Amino acid sequence: MIIDTHLVFWVEAGMVGVATLFYILNSSFTAVLYRRLGGSGWHAWVPIYGNARLLTTAGMSAWWSLLGAFFIWDAVESYISVADTLHLLATQTPEQLVSMANSQDIITGSMADNLGSMLGSIGALVFSIVLWIAVYRVAKGFGYSPNGMVTLWALLQPVYFAVLAFGKREFDVARMKARKNAVVAEPVLAS
């Protein structure tokens, strides 16, 4: 049984559509947040540069945002791997897929894709940890429960940014930098 090429197209189109919708929602709410913090909203629409603003708001070096390229790399590698597999399934018969010569080519190509994806995944993991710290600090600066907000960010990023962008709480750098159970005397606005 050969997979219908229309199905392959719709699966790929669905992947791109969901990613595009997520990007638009996330960037829209993040742009509002950045304007609220006194910056420019367009930063949110530039994939790696937008993270630099979040990191600097959290008191971290903007250079960490360059690790965001690994996220893009990993996403592209994953998409290519899925697209190659779907293309292979759509164009070859089951007999061709299980033949020894063809299997070796498939395994070799898959290993090369996986090695490239693995490097991207390691960089993306490091960047995820850096972003987790930034998200924690920014939520703390707004006076929200940092642990709850980090969980919200991990599960539904657009909602996290919407809460910060449209919430009533003001950002306070002193509150963000305060140690646990410390009393902050006077609020300081973010620059």
Kindly report the three-state secondary structure assignment for every residue of 80-125.
Answer: HHHHHHHHHHHHCCHHHHHCHHHHHHHHHHHHHHHHHHHHHHHHHH
The yes-or-no verdict on residue 2 having pLDDT over 70 is: no
Mean pLDDT of the chain: 81
Confidence category of residue 190, pLDDT binned at 50, 70, 90: very low
Alpha carbon distance 137, 150 (integer Å): 10
Q: Looking at per-residue confidence, does 33 or 183 come out higher? A: 33
The pLDDT tens digits for 142-188 are 999 989 999 999 999 999 999 999 999 999 888 888 776 555 444 44
R_g over Cα of the chain: 21
> If you average pLDDT over residues 111-117, what whole number do you get?
70
pLDDT value of residue 188: 44
Q: How confident is the model at residue 103, as a pLDDT?
A: 66
Tell which wins on pLDDT, 81 or 131. 131
Most confident of the following: 56-60, 95-99, 126-130:
56-60
Helices (H), strands (E): how many in the chain?
8, 0
